[in-house]
A and B are shown apart, each in its own frame.
Chain A
């Protein structure tokens, strides 16, 4: 071996060793750096998962509530689906891009809330929201509930959410508690309501009675000018915002109140002894406090209660008065001024074009009363006080020149041009009348920690 070869190899080995050393140091630092970044990344991903679960919890609460509402009161008639079937159908709509939601357990049925009139049963009494309900209610729902509600028992739905994280399947178990609550539509003293069509929430499950079908002239809802509390610049989406879900529930409830099914329900409850034709064209039952002839029927509300048809005599808190002709008149008086609450359903001719039934409130009514009026022209003398609630369908007419009427509650269609806004002023709503008012159903939910 020559001396030059040795030097060459020694220098070469030293150079390689130096490069190797630098590479080792650099690799170590790279690994350290990578480990730090991965560590931070893993911590951050854990936080991301927690945030995803936060969102998922909100979705599961909504799923639970919507299913309960769909099963129990979509169109205010019980669904043919069980709760389990309905919730599986709805859960299938949740995108499964990052998580798979399965329902571990769900009740087959949800509780029923009964309210007046209940044929052969007893409506639930109203009371203050329970502590369980209060802790479940969001601010919006609390506002809508008010002080008098009826509640169902709480039922639970258990979910399992599965996510694949770095090759591992992670399951989260969540329990959502749900409680239905019914609120009288007399919750607010003066309510302007929407119809479902107004807010894009048309529900085919409830059909209008053919004789009261709304026309196309009904304006669209939730647009500037329709919602008195809306600002044009804040309501820009043509789609129905989720924010208005409960407003849609209210619209459905009012649609039900002015539907054939509700009229039938009241008529069944009132019975033939309290089912009166104001036109006088057919034989009427004899109502205590009632009398009529030639298209004018007078009812002394203070004495109302007993009705007689042939040999059948009954006492009822409800009565139906209807007219098929324009101009027939129902005159309400109260010679007593007190008593248990009464419920009157007043139905006019088929459409406003055919004329209306005249509903004249002649003097103040002190006895607690709920009046549901369809296609009626309501008149009252100045200073009249009605100790109860008046629900007006979209075809009703109220003249401001005859008012204002002090009343515990009035509901009118927000799009109406025939109910002047100064026709009423808020009065006293007796609890006995509130108990007979139609109700809207909401659902409250809460995620339970496991």
Chain B
């Protein structure tokens, strides 16, 4: 009687191939998730201008942005007038180009408590009336830079209640022989209650270049020397996360858009 030879091999070739494939997928998936989660939860931080900034997307910077915009919305609720300095004017005829104004340089909330000179229907006239309090304009702003000035009631008087400054600047990081270019976004908020908040972050220039950040002015009507009346301004603020959180990597390309979008009315 001959004894049957028992198998000594643990897996068949097919089992090994399937096992390696499954394992590989799981490992790759895990590493991807770990990498993505790490990038989101612990975004890359770079020191720029003496301040450590996150490279978008950044959940923590997004939280800071929400706090700032929550304060801004509170001021907008009772706003009687909102003036936006800086931005583009696609609907304005070329002959009215002198009505465009640049962002303000103000680094703190201008104080205007006497509005007997009036609340005009456009930012240029507003600037001309209250130039002493508003200070100078930025000489060479970026296209994305703008300043929002909110006028509203406070203690039963009309006052300048809030201001937001949005700035874009360039930043590069050198690492040995290579360097990376970033766009830096700074958003600063000031209000009459003394609340100052801000958020800032870096963004790869390729992504920043495709994001439609800035102020777009609309005009109701214009006639030189007679009337200059602005419509609502579409103001798009920088978003360190991007709605609805689908920018899962720093080099993620649109479609993605800022959650912080407003239609700001000079009057209503």
How far apart are B230's CB and chain A's nearest CB, in angstroms?
A: 10
Residue of B nearest to A241 (CB): B220
**Smallest distance from the beta carbon of A9 to chain B beta carbons, Å?**
9
What are the 6 closest A-B residue pairs judged by CB atoms, nearest first?
A: A135-B153, A139-B119, A140-B267, A11-B10, A29-B33, A26-B30
| Contact status of A139 and B77, CB under 8 A, knowing A26-B29, A29-B33, A44-B243 | no
13 A-B residue pairs with CB within 8 Å: A4-B8, A40-B59, A40-B245, A44-B245, A44-B259, A134-B157, A137-B80, A138-B81, A138-B267, A139-B119, A235-B221, A446-B80, A449-B77
* CA distance in complex: A2, B70 (Å): 71
The interface residues of chain B lying within 8 Å CB-to-CB of A233 are 91, 93
- B26 within 8 Å of A (CB atoms): yes
- A217 within 8 A of partner (CB): no
How far does the alpha carbon of A136 sit from the alpha carbon of B267 in the complex, in Å? 12
* B80 touching A136, Cβ below 8 Å: yes
Collect the chain A residues with CB atoms within 8 Å of residue B259's CB.
44, 47-48
Shortest Cβ distance from residue B263 to the other chain A in the assembled complex, whole angstroms: 9
- Distance, CA A57 to CA B152, complexed state (A): 15
Tell whether, in the assembled complex, residue B226 and residue A33 are in contact, meaning their CB atoms are under 8 Å apart: no
Q: Which of A44, A50, A58 meets B73, CB within 8 Å?
A: A50
A81 at the binding interface (Cβ < 8 Å): no
- Using CB atoms and an 8 Å cutoff, list the residues of chain B in contact with chain A: 6-8, 10-11, 19, 22-23, 26-27, 29-30, 33-34, 36-37, 40-41, 59, 62-63, 66, 69-70, 73, 76-78, 80-81, 91, 93, 115, 118-121, 153, 156-158, 219-223, 226-227, 229, 231, 241, 243-245, 259, 262, 266-268
Collect the chain A residues with CB atoms within 8 Å of residue B266's CB: 139
A37 CB–B CB distance under 8 Å: yes
Cβ-defined contact, A243 with B158, below 8 A: no
CA distance A449 to B193 in the complex (A): 15
Interface stretch of the complex, out of A12-20, A194-202, A309-317: A12-20
> Given A227-B221, A229-B226, do A40 and B241 touch, yes or no (CB 8 Å)?
yes
How many angstroms between the C-alpha atoms of A46 and B22 in the bound complex? 41
Chain B residues with Cβ below 8 Å from A43 are 62-63, 66
Interface of B is mostly: mixed
Contact between A243 and B220 (Cβ–Cβ < 8 Å)?
A: yes
Given A25-B30, A43-B63, A135-B156, 4 further pairs, Cβ under 8 A? A22-B23, A29-B37, A40-B63, A138-B268
A243-B10 CB under 8 A given contacts A50-B73, A138-B80, A138-B81: no
Determine the chain A residues whose CB is within 8 A of the CB of B33 once the complex forms. 26, 29-30, 33
Asked whether, in the complex, the Cβ of A26 is within 8 Å of the Cβ of B73, the reply is: no
A19 B268 Cβ-Cβ under 8 A: no
Residues of the A chain whose Cβ atoms lie less than 8 Å from the Cβ of B262: 51
Q: A8 contacts the other chain (Cβ, under 8 Å)?
A: yes
**Nearest residue, chain B, Cβ from A61:** B268
Q: Which residues of B contact A229 (CB under 8 A)?
A: 221, 223, 226-227, 229
Q: Which residue of B lies closest to A131 (CB)?
A: B156
CA distance A46 to B36 in the complex (A): 25
Cβ distance A348 to chain B, nearest Cβ, rounded Å: 33
Point out the residues of chain A lying under 8 angstroms from B245, CB to CB. 37, 40-41, 44
Q: With A and B bound together, what is the CA distance between A41 and B244 in angstroms?
A: 7
CB distance from A22 to the nearest CB of B (A): 5
Least CB distance from B93 to A in Å reads: 6
A131 touches B27 (CB 8 A): no
Q: Is A234 an interface residue (CB 8 A)?
A: yes
In the bound assembly, the distance between CA atoms of A235 and B59 in angstroms comes to 43
Closest to A12 in B: B10
With a cutoff of 8 Å between Cβ atoms, the chain A residues found around residue B66 in the complex are 43-44, 46-47
